[in-house]
Every structure is written in structure tokens, then in C-alpha cells.
Structure 1
């Protein structure tokens, strides 16, 4: 008997075409909800994400600090309006079609901070389970940062809690930083991967590559 399949979707640049965190931070800067210095620091972290120098824990602490300091929770209504108006239009339709078809047995796993992830998922995807980067993740038994190897660790812990341990994993992602989870997935779907990413997975089984606009 075949195992059931749990479909895992990365969010930014996989279902949604853009980096949602940086888009929302730019919006908040334009609306004078965060300072120029704070915005530059956010940009620094996003640039370092593309290198081996990214410190996910420092990034998490900085984001938590600014979210609380600037009381951004009071601005949630405006953020959700912006998501509906701008970000919701930036969907990869073929991936959203897959998500809609498989949503009953799927989960979104994103490295994004809980504050941004929550607004986006509630606005665009509605009632779907998700794992994100959250300083209170440890209270739920997860790693705070949902990045790199932690994305796999957190998913396995969630699967155990949800009695899905025996499910095979199907994983949609655009990012080479998700390699630890890719290696543990039975089915790997790469969305617009770069050459380095393709080389890393060229000897793996059950790899599907999608180039979409």
C-alpha cells in the first residue's frame, strides 16, 4: 500500500513571485512606520540571505525588536489591504493551482518571520497550516528559525504531532537553502531554480523542474 503524500510549499518565490518580507518592509518604510536606518538593516539581512553569511537568529531578534518597538500590530489592517491590492496579484498561477488541488493535505513552510507570514497567509491562503520563523516556536517544540536544516526538523516535529509520520513528502521550493528538506523529500519540485541549484539535485530521483513566469 502506498503512503499518503504531504505536500509542502515554500512561500516566497515559490507560490508568490516576490519576496514578501522585503516588499512589506518597503511599504512600511514608505508609510513612515519604520525608520530609514531600520529599513537599511532589513535590506542588509536580505542581501546576506543570498550569501553564506546569513545569521537567521540575529535576523529573527532584529525583526522581533522592530515589530514590538514600532507597534506594527496596530498597522495590520493597512498591511492586509496592501497584501490584497499588491501581493495577491503576484501569484504563480500554476503553483497556486497545485496548492488549491492539494490543500487538504498540505502545509506552507516559510523562513519568513511570523508577523509577515501570518498577515500573508491569513489574507491569501486562509485556513492552511503553516510553519514560520517565530521566537515562540520553542514553546511548541520547534526550532525558532525555520531556515536550512531547521525547516526539515520543524516539519518532522509537526508531522509527528499531526500523526502524519508515515506520509511521503512532496516539496515545492525555489531555494537552495532548502536542500536539507529536499534531500528528505520523496518528490522534489523546483520552481525557477538557478544553475547552482540544478547541479546540486541533478543526481537525485523524482525531481521536477518548473520554469514559470
Structure 2
């Protein structure tokens, strides 16, 4: 893409600093189209997050009906799982699902046969809210510790765009970390529940101890 094409698309002003053209050329080199750039500029008023956004949602995107067809489940059942997992409602023509979600919903269906619908939906809600918190923590980590520093030192849009893309690429390391941490925490939880149910008086009853730590010396005053 050329400067003339960027200008014709309303993305570039020759009077703007050279860094703007550098950003546009870098985005084009990442495979970003003029249509993508125009849409991001109109929607967000900035292009620094565009390469990261496209990397995050790379690959095929499916509608609700397509996910249902591939998974062999009804759209209504998919919608139920989707809402339980803390995702927003999806319109019939929206392409928000990736192929990985087909396997995710299929695994939910298999687990439902084992645990029952009600208990599984409760677990999915816990899982969805927990993952949402992890996602928010990841975004906050970037905004507070990377983007803020780039903005404070007056770096270019290109520097911010490159950092944004790098942060998205680092997300691929999280699933392995979560898997290892989850399995370790499951092992700890199993030991804790076994110890709490040592007497086995009732299957749904455990013996726990609640402790209070006085950090301000209030106990001696009461």
C-alpha cells in the first residue's frame, strides 16, 4: 500500500508526522487491510490496537447456527452454555465463535451427561467468571505497566501498536500456565476435602475450621 492509498482512504494526512505513515505501513505489512484500518479508525479513533485485535481473533469465525451444526447440538443449547460461560448474547448473524469453541461446547455436553445439567451449569458459571477475571487482569497488566509507560515517554503510535501485538502474542503462554496451576490446585483441593471428610459421617458434609487473625490488637479491648 502507498501513501496515496492511505490518503485516499482518509487515513493519512501528508502534513502529519512521519510516524503516522510508519504505523500505516507496518499495519499493512502485518496483513491489515484498508477496510480494517478504516473501520478501526471510525470505531475507536485509533489504530494502535488493530494488529493485536486481528491477531487475537485470527482464523475462521462462525455463527451460532454454524457452531450448532458442527457440534450436533441445538442453537438453544449452545446459547445456554454460552450465557453460563459469562459471554454476552449473540445475534444469529454475528460471527464471534472460533472453531475451538465447538470443541468447548462439545466437552460441556459430554460433562453434562456425567454430572447433570444443573450442577454443570453452576460449574460453567464459576469457570466463566474466573476466566473473565483472568482476562481483565491480563488487560490491566498491559495498560498499567506497558501502555502507560509508552504514552508517558511520548513514544509513537507505532511503538504502542507493536507492544500491543507483542502482548497478544504472549497470551499463548497463558493456557499452559493455567493448565499446570489448575491441576496442582485440584490436587490440593482433593487432599483438603479428603481431610475434611475423614469421619465420612455424611457425603455432603465436611468439617472445617474458621480462624480469625487480629491484626490491630482489637481482641484485648473487647
Structure 2 length-normalised TM: 0.23
Structure 1 length-normalised TM: 0.23
Bigger radius of gyration, 1 or 2?
Answer: 2
More helix by share: 2
